[in-house]
Structures are given as structure tokens and as C-alpha cells.
Amino acid sequence: MKRMPLAADSIKSQLKKLAKEFALKYKGEWFVYAWVSKRENVLLEYIMGCPDPVYSKYGLTEKQRAKNISKFLASAEFRKCLKRYGGQVVYKKEWNKRRFGDNSKLLKLYNKFKKKDAIALLTMTNKKKEKGYLMKYILRHEWIHILLKKNNIYFQKKGRKYWPYDEGLNEYMASFLDNDLANLEKHMKNEKYPMEKKYWEYAIKFRDLLKNKKGSLERKNFLSYLSRL
């Protein structure tokens, strides 16, 4: 009997293709993922300094966020966040074990992926539609982040405020894979969430900057140069 290829495998072959087109290094073992509850996902985003305005209200630095966590937990925003689904990448360097001293689930994950630099986390769900979207688009998005960071193309190394560049480049690459670069403006127009509107805005910048960079090496060198600026 022929087995259906796993969604994760199909994403890996897309990443491989991307790596080839942009002269990036690729290793299948870099890419792992795990499921966490929506609550764990929200709390991790909050504490790791995710720039979503929902969280930024409670502080811009990790220290301020930690100080305001009970206020956040008691808020209507937190309850709203619990309905969202999605993913994130947790980089091991930033994953300070002590922070999760009382959360054995996250500690277990930490130990399970001890040898990995980064883990993509996805929100657990029973809903077929959510799961399909997570496995098709969200996991690819999170793994593109890992691919770029492994190749040292990471704008936020200069500071958290450069996140729109990392997200924009990620969105550009996903659209590149989907042959969808002509529709970025349309997606930006249809996007209601302000933070994600920015993703498209920056994807357009990358598309325009990379327009005349034809060869894979030329593209890679240009991106490396930009991220070092």
C-alpha cells in the first residue's frame, strides 16, 4: 500500500527548494516541531517578548512583562488570545529553563529537544480545519524562520524592533514558493490584523529589493548583506 507523504515531509522538500533558490545551507535535522496548548503558546509568546500589541501593552522588555503577568492573565485580552491558533519558534538560547520551573510539560520539551537550536511550536487542536492550516502554512512559516536563522540571516540580532524584516522576508519566501509574489498587495489589503499587515508590507519591500537579483548566490549575498547593515 502506498503511504501518503507526511505534511512535514512535504514542507521539508519545499524548504530544500527554497535553500537551493537562495543558496542557503539546508539540513533536514534542523527542523523539528512539537504541540503545545493554546495557553502555553500564548504565555510563551508573552514572556519571550513577541511584539504583538496585545502583549506590548504589558511591557516591552521581558522584565516588565514578567512583572505584569498576573494583570495579563486576568485580562479580557488573555481570554481572547486563548482562542487563537498558530505557532512560534523557540530558540534554545532564549529558552531559559528557570522561567518554566513550574511547568513540567515545557521542561519535558526542553529535554526532548536538547540537541536542537530551535523548535517550532504549534497549538494543539481537535479541529480538522485548524490542524490542516497549521500543518500546511504555520509549520512552514516557523521552519522558514529556522532556515534563515541557521543561515545567519536574522534581522533581530540587532534588536527586537527589527522583527518586521524577519517576518516580511519570511512571507516573501513563502509567496516565492507558492508563485504568489504578484498578489502581495492584495493580501496586504485583505489583512485585518495590524501586525500581520506589516508582514505583507515588508514582504513587498523584499520583493522589490530582490527583483533584479537573478542568481541564487546573488540573492543570498544580498540578504546576508542587508541583515548585517
Q: Min. distance of Cβ 113 from Zn ion in angstroms? A: 19
Give residue number: closest CB to Zn ion. Answer: 167
Residue 73 or 177: which CB sits closer to Zn ion? 177
Residue 40 or 167: which CB sits closer to Zn ion? 167
Subset of 121-150 contacting Zn ion (CB under 5 A): none
Q: Min. distance of Cβ 165 from Zn ion in angstroms? A: 11
CA distance 156 to 162: 5
127: its cell numbers: 479541529
110: its cell numbers: 526542553
Q: Min. distance of Cβ 179 from Zn ion in angstroms? A: 21
Subset of 33-52 contacting Zn ion (CB under 5 A): none
- Single out the segment in contact with Zn ion by CB under 5 A; choices: 15-23, 76-84, 162-170, 171-179: 162-170
- Single out the segment in contact with Zn ion by CB under 5 A; choices: 95-103, 122-130, 159-167, 210-218: 159-167
Interface with Zn ion: number of residues (CB under 5 A): 1
8 A C-beta contact, residue 64 and residue 58:
yes
> Which residue, among 96, 91, 46, has the nearest Cα to 66 in the 3D structure?
46
- Single out the segment in contact with Zn ion by CB under 5 A; choices: 14-22, 35-43, 93-101, 164-172: 164-172
Q: Min. distance of Cβ 98 from Zn ion in angstroms? A: 26
8 A C-beta contact, residue 85 and residue 78:
no
217: its cell numbers: 548566490
Q: Min. distance of Cβ 170 from Zn ion in angstroms? A: 5
- CB neighbour burial string for 12-45, b if at least 16 within 10 angstroms, e if fewer: bebbeebbeebbbebeeebbebbebebebbbbbb
Alpha-carbon separation of residue 186 from 136, 190, 204 (angstroms): 21, 6, 11
Q: Min. distance of Cβ 115 from Zn ion in angstroms? A: 23
- Single out the segment in contact with Zn ion by CB under 5 A; choices: 31-39, 72-80, 108-116, 166-174: 166-174
Upper half-sphere CA count for residue 63 (Cβ side, 13 Å): 0
Give the binding site for Zn ion (CB under 5 A): 167
